[in-house]
Amino acid sequence: MLFLLMLLLRPGIFIHALVEEPFIPLGNLLFWLAFIAFPIFLDAASFSFRQPAAAWDKWIAKGFRIAVVLAVLWWPVSYGLSGNFANTFSPGPSFVGSERAAGIFWAYSYAMVLLPVALWLLRMLLALLGKPRK
């Protein structure tokens, strides 16, 4: 919630330099931390975090753990795709930093949000369908 509030009220903070040389914007660190916190929050906020109640919930809990691991790897993968810590891309002869690499970067970044949301929605749907009727 704090991340979203900062994004709405102080978007300029995201381009503030965390490190000048090599340039690393503060926004990259904040997005990275938000990507890590988001699946943890959705998992903890939905149902039992450590003791899944149903067999399907064990698989969804594993999915959330995978989402956290992918989120932790976001910045190293982004660096590998862009070739710099600022995650900037430009046309060039090599794959690193190219437009194709940028497409993969954006798909990976969107997946950091969509995967936890899909797991959370699946958990909610299965929980609703699995409750006995009175």
- 43-89 pLDDT, tens per residue? 888 765 444 567 788 889 899 999 999 999 999 999 999 999 899 99
Q: What is the mean pLDDT of residues 83-111?
A: 93
Q: Residue 67: its pLDDT value, please? A: 97
Q: Residue 53: its pLDDT value, please? A: 62
Q: Is the pLDDT of residue 3 over 80?
A: no
Please spell the DSSP secondary structure of 9-47, one letter per residue. Answer: H-GGGGGSEEETTTTEEHHHHHHHHHHHHHHHHHHHHHS
Q: How many domains does the chain have?
A: 1
Q: What percent of the chain has pLDDT over 70?
A: 87
Residues of the domain holding 119: 2-130
Confidence of residue 133 (pLDDT cuts 50, 70, 90): low
- The reported pTM is 0.82
Tell me if 113 sits within 8 A of 38, measured CB to CB. yes
25 beta partners: 17
Q: Average pLDDT over the chain, rounded to whole?
A: 85
